[in-house]
Amino acid sequence: MIPYGHQNIDQTDIKEVIKVLRSDWLTQGPKVFEFEKALAEYCGVKYAVAVNNGTAALHLAYLAAGLKAGDEVITAPNTFAATSNMLLTAGAKPVFCDIRLDTYNIDEAKIEKLISGKTRVIAPVDFSGQPCALDQIKKIAKKYKLTVVEDACHALGAKYKNKKIGSLSDMTVFSFHPVKSITTGEGGAVLTNSKKYCEKLKLLRNHGMYKDKYNKNVMIALGHNYRLADIQAALGVSQLKRLDSFIKKRRQVVEWYKRELRDVKEIILPEEIKDNYSAWHIYVIRTVNLKERDRLAEYLKNKGVAVNFHYPAVYAQPYYRKNGYKAVKLENEEIYQASCLTLPCYAGLTEKQVKFISGLIKKYFKIYKNKLFENKESRGLIMGERVYLRKLTPADASNDYCAWLNDKEVNKYLETRKCTLAELKKYLKEKSSKIDCLLVGIFDKKNDSHIGNIKLEPIDRREKKAVYGILIGDKNYWGKGIGEEATKLIIAHAFKKLGLTSLELGVISQNKKAVKLYKKLKFKIKKIEKRAINHNGVFYDKIIMSIKK
Ligand SMILES: Cc1ncc(COP(=O)(O)O)c(C=O)c1O
C-alpha cells in the first residue's frame, strides 16, 4: 500500500536520538531549548515554545490569547478538528467561515461580516501547506483589535510573500506529527514575537508553575503538562536541518502530478496562488462530479493507494451537529468536502509511484466512460428506423450545425445564443470529456446528415437518473416524428444500457406540442416551476416531467 503521507528518517536522525537516550536527560531539557532556538531562527521569529503535539500547541496559544467562556473565534471548517476542538476546550465558540475554492483556505472576504462584539481571535488554517491571505486577515484583526492564532500545522517551511510562515501572526502553531513537514514522533510548537505570549505559553505548558530562587515550584496559573521530551527534540533538531530539502522534494512530487494529471478533465488539481510558496503537506484533488469521489477512492484503495479525505467539514462532525452546529452549511465548504480526495504526497514518494497513481486515475475514468457509453453491438451507434444516434465529438462542429443553433426559430426555447464555429468546437470538447454528460447527435440514416441533438446531463449514477433534453435543429425534419423516434431510442438506451431508472426533463409551458408528445411517451408531470425560464426578458413556466423504468 502506498500511504498518503510518510516520515523521512535517516541514520543521522537515529544517531541523534540515541545520543539523548544515552545522556542523563530525557524529558524537557537542553535539546528542547536547542530545538526551540533553531526553529525560531529558521522561521525568523523571536520565540518558539515546543510542546508535545500540535493540539496542545493550539490549546496553549488560545489560552495565551486570553480566550475564555463566551468568546467567539472565527476559524475555517476545512481543518483537522483539533483547530476548533481546542477552542471548545478553552471555553470559546468557533464561528465557521466559508472557504475559497482555489486554495481551500478561509475566505478572507467573508470574515468581517462574522465579527461580533464577542469575537476575540481569528484562527486561520494554512490548509495543505498553502498560506492564507495573511495580510488581509491581519488588517481585519488590527481594525477590530483581534488576535491572530494561525494554525500552520501543515505549513512549516511555507512562505507568504517570500516570508517564512511562523513569523507573520501573533502566534503560529506547528505540528510535528510523522506526516508533517518534519517530525518529532509527536510534537508541536507555538511561535511568536511577543515576550508576553512566550512567557505565558512556557508557564502553561508546565502546570502553570515556575521555579523561585530556591528552586521551589510556584504555581500561579492552572496549567498542563504539555512538555516535549529531549528524545523527541533531538529528532526535531536533526530533521529541521533537512526541512528545506523535504519541501523541495514535496514540490517535485506536485510537479510530477501536474504533468501526469493536467489533461484529466474529470478532476481539479490544487493550485498554488501567486503570493504563496506551499509546503505541500498534502496533495488534494477534487472530482468534478461530486458523486464520483467515493468510487474513485475505493478504486484507488483496491489498487493499493491509501488515499484519504482532508477534511470532512468540522461543523458536520456528529459531535458538532449535536452541540450547536446542527444547521451550519457553508456553500463552498459543502462542495469541497464532497469532492476532495488526498493523494499520496511526501518527500520519499518516487516519480514511478506518482506515474502509477496517476495512471490508475486515468484508467479509472476511461473504464468508467466506456462502461457508461459504449454500445458494443452497434459499434457506438444507436440505430432507429429513420435515424441513428451517436456520441458527438469536437469534429462534429460544422457550419450547418452552427447555422441551425443560431436560427431564432430553432433556438426559440433555448437560451438565445450566437454561436461561432470555434465556440461550438469548445462546447463539444467540454461535453464529450465530461463524465456526467452524454451528448448524442441525431443523424438521418439516409444521408448521414446531423439533424439534432439529445443530451443527458447531469447523469447521476448513484441515484440512477438523468436530465434529458432534445433539439431538432434541421427545420426540414420538424413535424415528422423524428423527436419521438429519437426520444424512444434514448429512453431505451438509458434504461437498458446505462442502468438508469428515471429520466427527467423540463419543457417550457408554451410548447404544448412537446408536452403532448412526452405524455404520449409516458412521461408524467412532476411539478411546474413558475416563471423559471427567462427568454429575452419574458418569464415562462417550466413543466418538469419524468419517466420511470
Ligand atoms: C490543521 C491541523 N491542526 C492541528 C493538528 C493537530 O496536530 P497534532 O496531531 O500534532 O496534535 C493537525 C494534525 O493533523 C492539523 O492538521
Taking CA atoms only, the protein residue closest to ligand 1 atom 10 is: 54
pLDDT tens digit sequence for 24-60 = 999 999 999 999 999 999 999 999 999 999 999 999 9
Task: Calculate how far, in angstroms, residue 481's C-alpha sits from the geometric centre of ligand 1.
Answer: 63
- Identify whether the C-beta of residue 316 lies closer than 8 Å to the C-beta of residue 378: no
How confident is residue 416, by pLDDT bands cut at 50, 70 and 90?
low
Question: Residue 374 — pLDDT band, cuts 50, 70, 90?
Answer: low
**Measured from the CA of 125, which atom of ligand 1 is nearest?**
1
**pLDDT at res. 510:** 86
CA-based end-to-end distance of the chain: 41
* Residue 370 in this model has a pLDDT that exceeds 80: no
DSSP SS3 for 208: coil
Asked if residue 182 lies in contact with residue 205, where contact means CB atoms within 8 angstroms, the answer is no
**Higher pLDDT among residues 498 and 352, named by residue:** 352
Check if 389 has its Cβ closer than 6 Å to any atom of ligand 1.
Answer: no
256 CA to middle of ligand 1, Å? Answer: 27
For the entire predicted model, the pTM comes to 0.73
Instruction: For residue 183, give the 3-state DSSP assignment.
Output: coil
- The domains located in the chain, with CATH, are 11-242 (3.40.640.10), 246-371 (3.90.1150.10), 374-548 (3.40.630.30)
Three-state SS at 31: helix
Cα(153) to centroid(ligand 1), Å = 6
Q: Is 150 in the pocket of ligand 1 (CB under 6 A)?
A: no
Contact 454, 468 (CB under 8 A): yes
Pocket test for ligand 1, best of 53, 105, 127, 175 (most atoms within 8 A of CB): 175
Instruction: Please state the atom number of ligand 1 nearest to the C-alpha of residue 127.
Output: 1
Q: How confident is the model at residue 380 (pLDDT cuts 50, 70, 90)?
A: low
In this predicted structure, what is the pLDDT of residue 378? 46
Q: Is the CB of 54 under 6 A from ligand 1?
A: yes
Does ligand 1 lie within 6 Å of residue 82's CB atom? yes
AA letter at 340: C
**Which of 73, 153, 311 maximizes ligand 1 atoms within 8 Å of its Cβ, making it the mutation to test the pocket?**
153
Taking each helix axis as running N to C, give the angle between helix 512-520 and helix 482-492, from 0 to 180 degrees, rounded to the nearest 10: 50
Whether ligand 1 lies within 6 angstroms of the CB of 126 is answered as: no
Distance of CA 147 to the CA centre of its chain: 27
Pick the atom of ligand 1 nearest to 187's CA.
10
Helix axes 399-406, 421-433, angle to 10 degrees: 100
Rg (CA), the chain: 30
Ranked by mean pLDDT, which of 384-388, 409-413, 488-492, 538-542 comes out on top? 488-492
Q: Which one of 181-185, 505-509, 529-533 scores highest in mean pLDDT?
A: 181-185
Cα–Cα dist 19/504, whole Å: 70
Query: What average pLDDT does the chain have?
Result: 93
Q: How far is residue 140 from each of residues 98, 99, 112, 113, 120, measured CA to CA in Å?
A: 16, 17, 7, 11, 12
Element (H, E) at 248: helix 243-261
Q: In this prediction, what percent of the chain has a pLDDT beyond 70?
A: 97
DSSP characters over 504-528: EEEEETT-HHHHHHHHHTT-EEEEE
Q: What is the Cα–Cα distance from 495 to 385, expressed in whole angstroms?
A: 19
pLDDT at 377: 46
Kindly state if the Cβ of 151 falls inside 6 Å of ligand 1.
yes
Ligand 1 center to 179 CA (angstroms)? 10
- pLDDT of residue 427 exceeding 60, the answer is yes
- Whole-number pLDDT of residue 369: 60
- Digit-coded pLDDT (tens) for 290-336: 878 998 999 999 999 999 999 999 999 999 999 999 999 999 999 99
pLDDT at position 59 is 98
CB of residue 80 inside a 6 A radius of ligand 1: yes
Identify which of 82, 5, 54 has the alpha carbon closest to the alpha carbon of residue 308: 5
Determine whether the shortest distance from the Cβ of 153 to ligand 1 is under 6 A. yes
CB 175 near ligand 1, within 6 Å: yes
Sign of CA dihedral 254, 257, 263, 266: negative
Residue with cell 496549567: 223
CA-to-CA distance for 177 and 187, rounded, in angstroms?
6
342 within 8 A of 309, measured Cβ to Cβ: yes
